[in-house]
């Protein structure tokens, strides 16, 4: 397995160098998802990372597969994010879908011939997922009729199927939630105007509207009662994947600043010879190493009781470090850091995006805070020496 993951990581590195870095500016200028690039990623095995080999997947563990996004993130964090969401859906479909769904969609998704995306957030609810309005009515013939709307749907209008979380009653709570895969050509499914985003125009993002959409029971991924639990697991995987991509972004920013400062002449020497520059970039390097250790530990913890907390730690720390790294490296370039050809502005905006998607850093702090409260409740009260605290 070590040789296999090394091969996959090398393929991702090759894809970044050959496809992402030379073309990402043109992708953004065109504002169109680069399907030819994702097809090439698929040919390298990057669209079925966690899916079983019987469906054409790589069969990697989450801990190993998530490292791919660090390699892709050196090219573009939004591209890495989109492929990570496809891989999460492929993992869910091949692992939990019905036999009929696996037969129809399994190899289509792992091969990248079909792209998938996850739809949970709604216009009025993000982190509070139980406050969703999307409803599914289960018909007498087993089909589901779905009405509602989703927001911040990535690969909107580009993906071939959308793994969509719905409620099946009007009762509060999550016990009626389920996940069903809705094909893009389903009658009654449409998308709103594309969101106007600053530095990832090639990634289509919009709202998704469902009006009397009828879907076969074969497309149920998680049955009623398991929708929220499965969604939270998907989000945990996404959060760690984002942290992985952020490490790639940090490496890209650091390498740009190093290359520039090693060639920029001033005060009789090179920028890299100045203590101030070394210290600034040294801090970035230290936080990058810490970030790698944290996201990899979190990736290996996914699926265990510690997984959600570790994912929260990774999502809280690493994107913040990426924002700081992008800003610091821009500062090292001085005025040149403001020029588009160096790409620092794009990295800064991507880092901010990755702080927000799939749970803001503040939501991660909520998860961490709840864990700390549980630990505090389990600790014995401190022994206060006699006489202290007495008036």
Q: What is the DSSP code string of 205-273? A: EEEEEEEEEEE-GGGEEE-TT-HHHHHHHHHHHHHHHHHHHHHHHHHHHHHHHHHHHHH-EETTEEGGG
Instruction: Note the pLDDT tens digit of each residue in 133-187.
Output: 999 999 999 999 999 999 999 999 999 999 999 999 988 888 899 999 999 999 9
Instruction: Give whole-number Cα distances, 193 to 204, 302, 335, in Å.
Output: 10, 35, 36
Instruction: Note the pLDDT tens digit of each residue in 305-344.
Output: 999 999 999 999 999 999 999 999 999 988 888 888 888 8
- Over residues 120-125, the mean pLDDT reads 86
Q: What is the pLDDT of residue 199?
A: 75
Give the residue from 170, 183, 169 showing the smallest Cα distance to 221.
183
What angle do the packed helices 35-43 and 2-15 form, to 10 degrees? Answer: 160
d(Cα 252, Cα 248) in Å, to the nearest integer?
Answer: 6
More confident residue, 13 or 199: 13
Q: What is the pLDDT of residue 340?
A: 83
Residue ranges of domains in the chain, CATH in brackets: 2-115 (1.10.540.10), 117-225 (2.40.110.10), 229-377 (1.20.140.10)
Residue 132: both structure tokens together: 């969703």
CB count within 10 Å of CB 151 equals 18
Give the residue from 324, 325, 322, 328 showing the smallest Cα distance to 351.
322
Instruction: Note the pLDDT tens digit of each residue in 229-251.
Output: 898 999 999 999 999 999 999 99
pTM, rounded to two decimals: 0.93
Q: What is the pLDDT of residue 71?
A: 97
In this predicted structure, the answer to whether residue 125 has a pLDDT above a threshold of 80 is no
Which residues make Cβ contacts (< 8 Å) with residue 246, sequence separation at least 6? 73, 77, 291, 295, 318, 319, 321, 322, 351, 354
């Amino acid at each position: 397995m070590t040789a296999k993951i090394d091969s996959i990581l090398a393929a991702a590195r090759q894809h970044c160098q050959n496809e992402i870095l030379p073309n990402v500016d043109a992708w953004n200028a065109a504002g169109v998802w680069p399907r030819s690039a994702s097809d090439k990623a698929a040919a390298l095995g990057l669209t079925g990372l966690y899916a079983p080999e019987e469906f054409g997947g790589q069969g990697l563990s989450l801990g190993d597969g998530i490292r791919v996004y660090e390699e892709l993130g050196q090219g573009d964090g939004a591209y890495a994010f989109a492929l990570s969401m496809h891989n999460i859906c492929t993992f869910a479909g091949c692992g939990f879908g019905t036999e009929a769904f696996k037969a129809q969609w399994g190899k289509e998704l792992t091969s990248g011939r079909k792209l998938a995306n996850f739809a949970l957030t709604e216009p009025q609810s993000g982190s509070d997922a139980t406050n969703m309005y999307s409803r599914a009515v289960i018909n007498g013939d087993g089909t589901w009729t779905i009405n509602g709307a989703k927001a911040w749907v990535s690969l909107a209008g580009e993906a071939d199927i959308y793994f969509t979380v719905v409620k099946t009653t009007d009762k509060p709570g999550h016990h009626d939630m389920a996940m069903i895969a809705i094909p893009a050509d389903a009658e009654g499914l449409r998308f709103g105007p594309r969101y106007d985003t600053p530095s990832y125009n090639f990634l289509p993002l919009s709202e998704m509207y469902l009006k009397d959409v009828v879907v076969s029971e074969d497309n149920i991924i998680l049955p009623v009662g398991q929708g929220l639990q499965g969604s939270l697991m998907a989000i945990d995987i996404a959060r760690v994947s984002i942290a992985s991509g952020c490490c790639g972004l940090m490496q890209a920013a650091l390498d740009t600043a190093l290359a520039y400062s090693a060639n920029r002449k001033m005060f009789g020497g090179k920028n890299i010879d100045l203590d101030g520059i070394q210290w600034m970039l040294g801090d970035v390097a230290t936080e990058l190493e810490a970030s790698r250790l944290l996201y990899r530990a979190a990736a290996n913890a996914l699926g265990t009781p510690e997984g959600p907390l570790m994912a929260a730690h990774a999502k809280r720390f690493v994107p913040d470090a990426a924002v700081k790294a992008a800003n610091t490296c821009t500062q090292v370039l001085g005025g040149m850091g403001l020029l588009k050809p160096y790409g620092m502005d794009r990295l800064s905006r991507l880092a901010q995006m990755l702080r927000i998607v799939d749970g803001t850093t503040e939501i991660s702090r909520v998860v961490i805070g709840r864990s700390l409260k549980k630990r505090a409740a389990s600790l014995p009260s401190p022994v206060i020496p006699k006489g202290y605290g007495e008036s």
